[in-house]
Amino acid sequence: MLKNKIALVTGAGSGIGEAVAQLFAANGASVVLADMDTDGADRVLGLIEKQGGKGLVVSTDVSKPDECERLVNEAVEQYGRLDIAVNNAGIAGPAAPTGEYPIDGWDKVIAINLSGVFYGMRYQIPAMLKNRGGSIVNMASILGKVGFPMSGAYVSAKHGVIGLTETAACEYATQGIRVNAVGPGFIKTPLLDKNLTPEQLVGIAAMHPMQRLGTALEVAELVLWLASEKASFVTGSYYNVDGGYLAQ
């Protein structure tokens, strides 16, 4: 499905990013795994290599534009081009009402979850134009379409990711670059486990019509399709993988 493609995945050291990187490699892509957690990314690369796949780990803080530029440059230097990028790195941020939300928490969430996607595309797109096209998938959220109490920064960033995705898709639609966003519901990942108690996880699972949390692999399967030529007429779209959350 992705034979001989070069793919870049941010936040590849765990969770959804890990699942995407492994699935891409299993489908023939060489994968550049970007993460601040290089131990996690090295672990994922080890799993990929055990299955006969190929990849490269690059330590990257997506909130810094120079590091996003370096990441793309290293991918191109190693493999000669860039075909696919998944801008997945993100954090949950503090939980607080808007009138009490910590300023430093707001700045950090926006820097990683929104600016990090912009910085990624800022350097991914020129690289893709050199080989006349590519596919970019940005990780938004169900909270890119609806509000959620105590999560103002995260909700704002994810809304912004969808708008940025739609804008870039329109700009490059005739130049062979497709740009889409994915909106996971609450997914069973280390990020969720870190920020919620077991009791809260049960309550959140019940908020989905399917009465369960999603899995990282279920999200990765959608990302794989969007990245592939099977989605050749799909751009500027926002796809939910949310167990029916937004249908309510």
Arithmetic mean of pLDDT, 17-31: 98
Catalytic residues: 154
Interhelix angle for 65-79 vs 116-130, to 10°? Answer: 30
Given this model, what pLDDT does residue 81 score?
Answer: 98
Query: What is the rounded average pLDDT of the residues 226-243?
Result: 98
- Is the pLDDT reported for residue 191 higher than 80? no
Mean pLDDT for 14-43 is: 98
Q: What average pLDDT does the segment 172-183 reach?
A: 98
Which one has a higher pLDDT value, 192 or 114?
Answer: 114
The sheet with strand 134-139 has its strands ordered as: 54-59, 30-35, 6-10, 84-87, 134-139, 177-184, 238-241
pTM: 0.97
Most distant CA atoms of the chain, gap in Å:
51
pLDDT one-digit tens code per residue, 84-95: 999 999 999 999
In terms of C-beta density within 10 A (0-12 exposed, 13-18 middle, 19 or more buried), how is residue 230 classed?
exposed
What percent of the chain is predicted at pLDDT more than 90?
96
pLDDT recorded at residue 151 = 97
Please report which confidence band the pLDDT of residue 98 belongs to, taking 50, 70 and 90 as the band edges. very high
Is residue 194 scored above 90 in pLDDT? Answer: no
Q: Is the pLDDT of residue 195 over 80?
A: no
Tell whether the model's pLDDT for residue 226 goes beyond 90. Answer: yes
Q: Domains plus CATH for the chain?
A: 6-247 (3.40.50.720)
Q: Would you call 181 helix, strand, or coil by DSSP?
A: strand
- pLDDT value at residue 193: 82
Q: Is residue 190 over pLDDT 90? A: no
Backbone angles phi and psi of 204, in degrees to 5: -70, -40
- Reply yes or no on whether the pLDDT at 239 is more than 90: yes
User: Closest Cα partner for 184 from 41, 17, 31, 35?
Assistant: 17
Is the pLDDT at 16 greater than 90? The verdict is yes
Report the percent of the chain where pLDDT is more than 70.
Answer: 100
